[in-house]
A and B are shown apart, each in its own frame.
Chain A
Amino acid sequence: MYNTISQLISASREKPMHEVIIDDEMALTGVPRGDVYLRMHTSFSVMQKSALKALDTPQHMTPPLIKGQSSLQHKYADGATLCGKEVNEMMAMALSASEVNASMGRICAAPTAGSCGILPAVITTAAKKLGSNKNEIAEALIVASGIGAVIMRNATVSGAEGGCQAECGAAAAMAAAACVYLSHGTPQMCAEAVSIALINCMGLVCDPVAGLVQLPCSFRNASQSANALSSADMALAGQTCPIPADEVIEAMFRVGHALPSSLRETAEGGIAATQTGKKISAEFFAAK
Chain B
Amino acid sequence: MNISLFDVVGPVMIGPSSSHTAGAAKLARVASGIAPRGFAALFIQLAGSFAKTGKGHGTDKALLAGALGFSESDERIREAYQIADERGIKYAFSDIDLPDAHENTARLTFKYADKPDFTVEGSSIGGGRIIITEIDGSKTSFNAEAPTIVIRQLDKPGVVNDVSGILAESGINIAVMRLDRDSRGGMANCVIETDANIDENTVSALEHVTNVVSVRAINL
Report which A residues bind B (CB closer than 8 A).
1-3, 21, 24-25, 28-29, 36, 39-40, 42-43, 46, 62, 100-114, 116, 119, 141-142, 144-146, 148-150, 152-153, 157-158, 174, 210-214, 267, 284-285
Contact indicator per residue, chain B 123-167, by CB within 8 Å of chain A (1) or not (0): 000111000000000000000000000000000000000000000
A28–B2 CB distance below 8 A: yes
- Sample of 25 A–B contacts (CB below 8 Å): A28-B3, A40-B9, A62-B56, A102-B15, A104-B21, A104-B77, A104-B78, A105-B15, A106-B13, A109-B13, A109-B22, A110-B10, A113-B13, A113-B17, A114-B16, A119-B9, A145-B5, A149-B5, A149-B7, A149-B8, A150-B1, A153-B2, A153-B3, A211-B56, A212-B57
Contacting A at CB under 8 A, from B142-198, are none
Is B51 an interface residue when CB atoms closer than 8 A count as contact?
A: no
Closest 6 CB pairs of A and B: A101-B15, A148-B8, A145-B5, A213-B16, A212-B56, A149-B3
A279 to B60, alpha carbons, bound, how many Å? Answer: 24
Given contacts A24-B1, A149-B3, contact A104 B16 (CB under 8 A): yes
Tell me, rounded to whole Å, the shortest Cβ–Cβ distance linking A91 to chain B.
19
Docked pose: A40 CA to B5 CA in angstroms: 9
Tell me the complex Cα distance, A114–B21, Å: 12
Do B9 and A213 touch (CB < 8 A)? no
**Chain B: residues with CB nearer than 8 A to chain A?**
1-18, 21-22, 52-53, 55-58, 61, 73, 75, 77-78, 126-128
- Contact among A2, A43, A157, A212 for B6, CB-based, below 8 A: A43
Q: A109-B128, A211-B56 are in contact. Are A145 and B14 (CB under 8 A)?
A: no
Residue among A109, A157, A213 having the largest count of chain B Cβ atoms under 10 Å = A109
B15, B53, B73: which has the most chain A beta carbons within 10 Å?
B15
CA–CA, A116 to B18, complex, Å? 11
- SS class of chain A's interface: helix, strand, loop or mixed? helix
Are B14 and A108 within 8 A (Cβ)? no
Residue of A nearest to B75 (CB): A106
Compute how far the CA of A136 lies from the CA of B197 in the bound complex, rounded to whole angstroms: 33
Residues in B whose Cβ lies below 8 Å from that of A110: 8-10
Contact B9–A28 (Cβ < 8 Å): no
- Between B3, B21, B77, the greatest number of chain A beta carbons within 10 A of the residue's beta carbon is seen for B3
Contact in complex: B14, A104 (CB < 8 Å)? yes
Given A109-B13, A109-B127, A213-B15; A146-B1 close (CB under 8 Å): yes
With A104-B77, A211-B56, A285-B55 known to touch, is A113 a contact of B10 (CB < 8 Å)? no
Given contacts A104-B61, A113-B18, contact A36 B12 (CB under 8 A): no
A10 vs B58: C-alpha distance when bound (angstroms): 45
Who on chain B is nearest to A60 by CB? B78
Cα A98 to Cα B11 in complex, Å, equals 16
Q: How far is the CA of A149 from the CA of B78 in the complex (A)?
A: 31
The answer for the CA separation of A179 and B169 in the assembled complex, in Å, is 51
Once the chains bind, are A104 and B126 in contact (CB under 8 Å)? Answer: no
Q: How far is it, in angstroms, between the C-alpha of A216 and the C-alpha of B129 when the chains are bound?
A: 25
For the complex, give the distance between the alpha carbons of A39 and B52 in Å.
35
